[in-house]
């Protein structure tokens, strides 16, 4: 099964819809609820990073017997220093986004905690690809 959902930059009324669709799809497939919760949190963080930090992109959900795979692919400024970006508390989120409650610098650390594997590839001024894998227990 494969599902591809576009994500717009800075569209805060639509933001979260991709993660919501991923969650509903997994529920329909009868995936364990604790596993869905981890996928939903990580996907929402990844989606918000596309909305806030990139020029737009997409979320791709792939489910097979072994793994639930979520990819967050965007075009944009990219991440210059990945190690720094992964640090808890590091954030370059602008003030207007902080007022909405984002910018704690906890998104990437949360994704790492939720996923069984996390790979990030980023090219400055091109974009970022985040791949998260979750062992499918069913």
**Residues in the site for ligand ATP, rule: CB under 6 A?**
45, 49-50, 52-54, 74, 76-79, 85, 90-93, 102-108, 128
Q: Which is nearer to ligand ATP, 27 or 92 (CB)?
A: 92
In sequence order, the 6+-apart residues with CB closer than 8 A to the CB of 136 are 31, 35, 63, 64, 65, 66, 67, 68
Residue whose Cβ sits closest to ligand ATP: 107
Q: Quick one: 29 or 100, whose CB is closer to ligand ATP? A: 100
d(Cα 80, Cα 98) in Å, to the nearest integer? 21
Q: Which does residue 20 touch among Mg ion, ligand ATP, another protein, none (CB within 5 to 8 A, set by kind)?
A: another protein
Q: Which is nearer to ligand ATP, 29 or 80 (CB)?
A: 80
Classified as helix, coil or strand, 37 is helix
Identify which of 66, 72, 82 has the alpha carbon closest to the alpha carbon of residue 116: 66
């Amino acid at each position: 099964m494969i599902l591809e959902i576009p994500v717009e930059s800075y569209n805060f009324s639509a933001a979260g819809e991709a993660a919501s669709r991923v969650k509903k799809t997994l529920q329909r497939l009868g995936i364990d609820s604790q596993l869905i919760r981890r996928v939903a949190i990580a996907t929402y963080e990844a989606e918000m990073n596309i909305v806030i930090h990139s020029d737009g992109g997409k979320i791709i959900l792939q489910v097979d017997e072994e793994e639930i795979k979520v990819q967050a692919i965007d075009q944009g400024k990219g991440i210059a220093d990945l190690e720094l970006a992964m640090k808890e508390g590091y954030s370059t989120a602008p003030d207007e986004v902080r007022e909405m409650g984002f910018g704690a610098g906890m998104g990437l650390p949360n994704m790492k905690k939720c996923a069984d594997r996390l790979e990030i590839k980023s090219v400055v001024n091109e974009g970022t690809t985040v791949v998260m894998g979750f062992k499918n227990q069913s």
